[in-house]
Structure 1
């Protein structure tokens, strides 16, 4: 309670230190993190901070967004004051860039445009934007937002803005060209948002318990300079970066994203198998914790969540056929989560019968569901793929009341069919078990949900999130220190899967 009160004092101090214009600047800078509807009602820094806290973007434990916003506003003295007075934690605080370079570019341009230049810009936009959007009191940042609404401006489309700026202030055009060049060098991806820059003058390195770096949008590509994680722009400029690494970054520029702008995000089907007493297998106690976590996360992401309980082989295939019969034309993708016992060949229904992985995913193939053609079909499988522990552990006796993980094993691997746009995220590699704790769910699903909540708002692509899940789960073990698990994603995706940061969703619990 004391730390919460202290943090509120920090926010109050910042609030009274900011001008009305600076609050408007903060609102613009946060327009990728919060919904425009929520931001339209913000008239004070306090209201903005409350929204960020409700979305778990700002807290005593992680004040990095506040520090970043103050840095962009060039309020260095205020930052030094907060730190020197020891009113907020700095030990281990990561400077993780959540405000995109694109948003910072627009803010930088607005700071360099004089009043006469703004009038000239409004004149040039007379035939493009409604007159009421070009009124005298409209600021340049507000104009940028209107241009975004009309699809005239975004991080990958600066041509209209560049042409206008070139006519008004040619010197500023060079800044836009520089941004385009850096975006090309970094593959058009804001890696700094995902790894996090560190400002040595203000922050110390994070302890191991904090997320100091995660895989970038380039898949497994990750760079360190002097053993400190750095952002993509800095990487591209670093002289020590090899020609091969630079080539890899430039090549990633060609990796496009699946469109995520439909009327609906899509359906998320969760098959949750717990009761196996009829076929002689152990019940999967704790699986309802995973089910609830998945429901919360995918509803937050904008999916229509459907849950099916205790399905046998026939029912599993039938609910997938029902899903395939739906019209997904207005959807962006489809998700299927299966929580069950498993073997190397596939998942096990509550009747003990196997549904192979091939059968599982072919139900949503383009021939069975044309409306999902060229759309990502994402499968998350929590099930064993064998009976081996990883690595093999010597027998060990535990007290009866001691909590220990149990496997989802049921006492020759199918590959993904040669078709595009599939992801099969498996909780473990072939031949090995995966673990489930009765009181807290499975290692894989809980890590998946945690990292989705943490990294989706920062623009991290799904394969990179799964790489972080791999890292997290690989570090877990039971109390004996002998049981390990290694998840494995398999995919035929042709583009990057990046979920838009939820803007109108309720805060996560």
Structure 2
């Protein structure tokens, strides 16, 4: 295709975006760009056909680098629109190589605005009536426009969020935690001070992670994360005493439980990869047995089950982004089950290419899906985490007619993002294989389904159920007694997960 035709194709895609966005969302886009272009230049912008040429003129948008537009659409959760952009500029570009241009501060304000209803906006204006000119407050303006007015009056800024925090605390206390977390992250505070030898009187409130700018940043964050909550206490005697006094104030408090009151428990996404004929990996015979078991159990638990078959690496990420694009406000939680091969650096799609744990799980982060904020995000992964076999200590034998277990490949030594309310339950520990019987399914998934059916009606919490799964799977072995497997849950849950007992009978296995 000639250069001129490519340029025209790119402009047609920009026109498609312009026509797909209502006027208020175009103004949201203008707000997100307000750190990139002078306010006087943006003040007259009322449409995409005015904004996009302005971005192009400032070398912020081009056919060679359309990443800013993709970043804006992703922040605004227009995943389906992104999917329908077909020009070479979008389909043949690796956007992970481009820098993030929209500041965490702008994204924070946009996130706040998306959580505020019309009545909340009226209340915010009322609280500002003695601070901002009444004439401006009486105008019909969005919350983002109000934020711009506050910035002009020096009442709001990247390092000046006190007024906003005070107002939001009165209007929407849940959002105040998000602002507090942003302030901590932007100031570089260490919220695990008692364990690092730094004195701190601040308590830690779990909140969504800040946007990541590099792989190293995530590595640093994961290194600081105690996934199971079991951390060693080190340091001098004064630190030990301070920590003990904090324990004494909470030792009599009951562990809280996530709210599970809705008729609709949420979505359970099952990604079932069986056919690997398109690459050099073997087909995963028996995985459909696991899929059927998971479907039956999670439907019984009150979930809307969505099944995706034989996904390549791009499709796996896309179905997760589609899940994040849904409104989960009425849901109690979200579940994602992945049945596939694996390698050291990630879950394998049917094309033989990998998706890391982080890539998968960050698609459901509160930044990508605000309606899942403070709701449990539960991942169950059936795949190996390496190629080593665990030694059998107390081997058992199968009858002679039992299927011989086979292993899937290997999954990463990779951990969940530093954010609250995640559970990552994997079928095996790092570096080791997990097993699948072609006639019965995998040890891990079958034990998980069995114990959910058995223990949920008794009111048992999910982590206790997974402990029983660990026990069951650890006792399994092959005919020779040489193959063993040990599942591993990792979590940043802040409360207990207890599913309400279903009113119907559990599905038969």
Give the TM-score, by structure 2 length. Answer: 0.49
